[in-house]
Chains A and B, each alone.
Chain A
Amino acid sequence: MSTATTTPRRELGTGRTAGTRRTLEKGPSGWLAVPALAFFMLFAILPLLGVLFLSFTSWDGLGEIKLDGLSSWNTVLADPVTGNALLVTAKIMFFSFIVQAPISLLLGVFTAASQKYRAALAVLYFVPLLLSSAAVAIAFKALLDPNFGLGPGLGLPFLAQDWLGNSDLVLFVVVFVIAWQFVPFHTLIYQGGVRQIPASLYEAAQIDGAGRIQQFFNITLPQLKYTMITSSTLMVVGSLAYFDLIFVLTAGGPGYSTRLLPLHMYLTGFKANDMGAASALGVILVVIGLALALFLQRLGGKNRNASQLEGA
């Protein structure tokens, strides 16, 4: 969505040309942002304005677009399904975060060291990242089928639960599948973060007699602050964008149990053919996404690394 422009200011050297110095003092020329900005206007801002306009109309996708004031907004805000979709989204966001964050942090730290076997394991961990969400969903749907899936196939009654058909269970199954797919990505981020921590810090700690656990809590974790914010932003804001995986896996069901906001928006627009209401939901989604991203960025002070909104 946006490009992360990091301005390295660390090595202000001497003996450079006047132009370079001006660049370093004022930052690079604003013209550099033009291509990205143009694309962003064309493919993000313009459609967004279109959606905002459509949310004040009624349109079934086929006939005329009629201006309809606030009626789509009234429908959406009065619909209990919208509230439920928000709740489901919040739950998935919360559980995804508390499942994924610790696992990927530990895996990231583990794979950051340079032994060969760790590198081999890291490759294995990254495999799910190469699969498309639809493929992951189809595979898990087949594995979790209560009649033909893994459980009945291997004769393990424990695995033959009604994983995707039980309203109480399905949310956690979805969180698990999401984690299976996205933990590798966040592991990669943490791995990179850990490798950037200067070895001298650990050497100093060792001389001071700090053990491995102490090193982890007193050096690794604080040094990873910005990595954590980046990863968390991607996790949390990414939760607002889970669509393909859940659409294929459960189609939002059973009932409304996994119908989260983006899915609700899609089904309202393209199944019920109510583009007005779907646009209103889209606007809500954008507002929540931006608010969360801003909030998480604030947590990290002025760190610009956290501005990678795309993700998950």
Chain B
Amino acid sequence: MNNLKLRTAGMAVSAAALSISLVACGSSGPAGTGASADSATMWGLTGGDQPVFQASVDSWNKSHPDSTIKLDFFANDAYKTKVRTAVGAGQGPTLVYGWGGGVLKSYVDAGQVDDLTGFLKENPDVQSRYLPSILESGVIEGKTYALPNNKVQPVVLYYNKEVFEKIGAQPPKTWDELMALVPKFKDAGVAPFSLGGQSKWPDLMWLEYLVDRIGGPEVFANIAANKPNAWSDPAVIEALTKIQELVDAGGFINGFSSIAADSNADQALLYTGKAAMILQGSWIYQGMKKDAADFVSSGKLGYTPFPTVEGGKGDPANVVGNPSNFWSVSSKATEEQKKTALEYVKDGMFNDENVQGLIDSGAVPVVTGIEDKLAASPDKDFLTYVYGMAKDAPDFTLSWDQALSPAQGDAMLANLDQIFLKKITPEQFASTMNATIGK
């Protein structure tokens, strides 16, 4: 019984401590004072955008004391689990933060999110402010269920210029060059690539780009369309084989499978010079700008597109990643909450202050007509690079784990982890994944 008592006591203490700190947080901003039962609720992600979302909602609450929004933040992986459970139980937030794709479709199928097509028709200004290709990602079967809320997030190959200069190397343009760099960096005592393997989704970026470079975007389009045996496509097998060759060559940092991307340890390896390169989303620029300001501002951070693969069919300008994140409106929210949420989407989001906030944080908002603002930013090199990359991409493939159904996405990440650990062969991966088609 001692254990139970101690635990209960411990929980009571920590719960008390937590609620004290929550109260402290709440009272420091206007969000806490105006929040009532009628407030719309909003869940966001911790990390780069957090201060921008907070500032936007704070200023909204200040100017709209009658229709306030209550904002909470969660870590990425924890959020994905929490929001689904909450939405399933009818306890989700008014504004549901999402990625589009298969997860959004499962919400739509269950009738948990509202159709926003009519809202867009009534508010042509909202429709026209977005980059059209990105707005498309919130459309399921011809109807809009999600509206972009932040920034374009293509996956970029980052490198540490200082480390490259030390061994006199150039960033790789082809896969062969990339493989040739591996022993050079290892001899210099630097890991060629950092990787947050415990989080599993960073592994996926390698597969997404390699499959696209080798077989083009059609390969994944077939998988997403649930075509039988789509995972056995030769491009998938070749991509997985190349990943295992890179693992064998010691391409990834020691202990990559225990590094979690949520803690930003993967990007820390890059700016501390322990790793030469990292394949990650454009959002880690925001993190590095904050955690390693000198490294970024002194121009030591390099970035380049993913290398081409010889004989590959994919356009080297193709991009994978997240076109944006999205707000969906919960169908379980009260009319009052929905009204507040949509008014915020219309007037509070992507106003000048919000757009500038995103740009200052090191992100590219998903709206049109921001070229001048990007050019005026101290981060203009990176921002215009990302903006161009997203705008000019012949194909922008949504991250597979978000594009597929949750069950399939989870099986894919678990099996890809096994590929990186060399516990299964590419053929085993393909046959296991073929069995999940349609689930």
- By a beta-carbon cutoff of 8 Å, the part of chain A in contact with chain B is 4, 60-63, 129-130, 132, 141, 144-148, 162-165, 167, 170, 185, 188-189, 234, 250-251, 253-256, 267, 270-274, 308, 310-312
B269 sits at the interface (CB 8 A): yes
B186 to chain A, nearest CB (A): 15
Residue picked from B1, B85, B106, B257, most chain A C-beta under 10 Å:
B257
CA distance A274 to B255 in the complex (A): 30
Q: Which residues of B contact A270 (CB under 8 A)?
A: 81, 84-85
B84 lies within 8 A of A312 (CB): no
Contact with A along B22-43 (1 / 0, CB 8 A): 0000000000000000000000
Contact in complex: B407, A185 (CB < 8 Å)? no
Task: For A170, give the chain B residue with the smallest CB separation.
Answer: B258
- Chain B residues with Cβ below 8 Å from A310 are 3-4
Contacts of A253 in B (CB 8 A): 197-198, 257-258, 417
Residue from A162, A273, A308 in contact with B1 in the complex, judged by beta carbons closer than 8 Å: A308
| B418 interface contact, C-beta 8 A | yes
Which of B107-115, B219-227, B312-320, B333-341 is the interface stretch?
B107-115
| Shortest distance between the CB of A116 and any CB in chain B (Å) | 23
Q: How many A-B residue pairs have CB under 8 A?
A: 107
Question: Which chain B residues border A132 with CB–CB below 8 Å?
Answer: 10, 14
* Separation of A267 and B109 alpha carbons in the complex (Å): 23
| Closest beta carbon of chain B to A47's beta carbon, Å | 14
- Say if the beta carbon of B389 comes within 8 Å of chain A: no
Cβ-defined contact, A272 with B407, below 8 A: yes
Which A residue's beta carbon lies closest to that of B253?
Answer: A147
Instruction: Judge whether B421 is part of the interface by a CB distance below 8 angstroms.
Output: yes
- Cβ-defined partner of A147 (8 Å) among B2, B255, B411: B255
Cβ contact of B258, chosen from A62, A130, A250, A267, cutoff 8 A: A250
A71 to B45 alpha-carbon distance, docked (Å): 36
Asked whether A146 and B198 contact (CB < 8 A) given A234-B3, A308-B1, the answer is no
Q: Is the Cβ of B112 less than 8 Å from the Cβ of A62?
A: yes
Contact of B197 among A254, A271, A312 (CB under 8 A): A254
Chain A hits for B265, CB < 8 A: 145, 147-148
- Interface residues of A, dominant DSSP: loop
Residue B88 at the chain A interface, CB threshold 8 Å: yes
Q: How far is the CA of A107 from the CA of B48 in the complex (A)?
A: 48
Closest to B274 in A: A147
| Interface members, chain B 220-279 (any A CB < 8 Å) | 253-260, 265, 268-269, 274
- Please state if A62 and B197 are interface contacts (CB–CB under 8 Å): no
A163's nearest neighbour on chain B, judged by CB, is B258
CA distance in complex: A85, B159 (Å): 39
Check B1 against A146 for contact (C-beta < 8 Å): no
Given contacts A61-B85, A185-B2, A312-B3, contact A146 B410 (CB under 8 A): no
Bound-state CA distance A162–B218 (Å) is 39
A-binding residues in B (CB < 8 A): 1-4, 6, 10, 14, 81, 84-85, 87-88, 106-107, 109-110, 112, 197-198, 253-260, 265, 268-269, 274, 406-407, 410-411, 414, 417-418, 421, 423
CB distance from A5 to the nearest CB of B (A): 11
Contact partners of B255 in chain A: CB under 8 A: 145-147, 162, 164-165
Are the CB atoms of B268 and A129 closer together than 8 Å?
A: no
A residues in contact with B1, CB < 8 Å: 4, 308
Chain B residues closer than 8 Å to A234, beta-carbon distance:
3
Please give the distance in Å from A123's CB to the nearest CB on chain B. 14
User: Which residues in B have their C-beta under 8 angstroms from that of A144?
Assistant: 258
Shortest C-beta distance, B258 to chain A (Å), equals 4
B254 close to A274 (CB less than 8 A) = no
Q: Which of B6, B106, B107, B410 contacts A272 (CB 8 A)?
A: B410
**Distance to closest chain A CB from B181 (angstroms):** 20
Complex: how many Å from CA A62 to CA B423? 33
Q: CA separation between A170 and B255, bound complex, in Å?
A: 11
Question: In the complex, which residues of chain A have a beta carbon less than 8 angstroms from the beta carbon of B87?
Answer: 62
State how many angstroms separate the Cβ of A265 from the closest Cβ of chain B.
Answer: 14
**Contact pick for B417, options A130, A163, A255, A272, CB 8 Å:** A255
A163, B258: Cα distance in complex, Å = 8
Bound-complex Cα distance A63 to B106 (A): 8
Q: How far does the Cβ of B11 sit from chain A's closest Cβ, in whole Å?
A: 8
Q: Enumerate chain B residues within 8 angstroms of A62, measured Cβ to Cβ.
A: 84, 87-88, 106-107, 109-110, 112
**Residue pair B81, A255 in contact (C-beta under 8 Å):** no
Q: Are A60 and B253 in contact (CB under 8 A)?
A: no
Cα distance A310–B8 in the bound complex, in angstroms: 12
**Shortest CB–CB separation between residue B247 and chain A, in angstroms?**
12
Which chain B residue lies CB-closest to A4?
B1
- 3 tightest CB-CB pairs across the interface, nearest first? A164-B258, A146-B255, A165-B258
Q: Is the CB–CB distance between B107 and A167 below 8 Å?
A: no
Cβ of B198 and Cβ of A251 under 8 Å apart? yes
In angstroms, Cα B259 to Cα A251, docked, is 11
Residues B407 and A274 in contact, CB atoms below 8 Å apart? yes
Residues of B within 8 A of A312 (CB): 3
B254 in contact with A147 (CB, 8 Å)? yes
Q: Tell me whether A254 and B106 are in contact (CB under 8 A).
A: no
| Chain A residues with CB below 8 A from B10, complex form | 130, 132
Cβ-closest chain B residue relative to A268: B410
What are 24 inter-chain pairs, A to B, with CB distance below 8 A? A4-B1, A60-B106, A60-B407, A61-B88, A62-B87, A62-B107, A63-B109, A141-B260, A145-B255, A146-B255, A146-B258, A147-B253, A147-B269, A185-B2, A188-B2, A234-B3, A251-B260, A254-B197, A254-B198, A254-B258, A255-B417, A271-B410, A274-B407, A310-B4
Shortest distance between the CB of B264 and any CB in chain A (Å): 11
Chain A hits for B112, CB < 8 A: 62
Closest to A144 in B: B258
For A145, list chain B residues within 8 Å (CB): 255, 258-259, 265
Pairwise interchain contact B256-A165, C-beta atoms closer than 8 A: yes
Give bound CA distance, A199 to B260, whole Å: 54
In the assembled complex, the Cα of A143 lies from the Cα of B417 at a distance in Å of: 24
Contact, CB under 8 Å: A162 / B2? no
Most buried by B among A167, A251, A270, A273: A273
Which one of A251, A254, A273, A308 lies within 8 Å of B406 (CB-CB)? Answer: A273
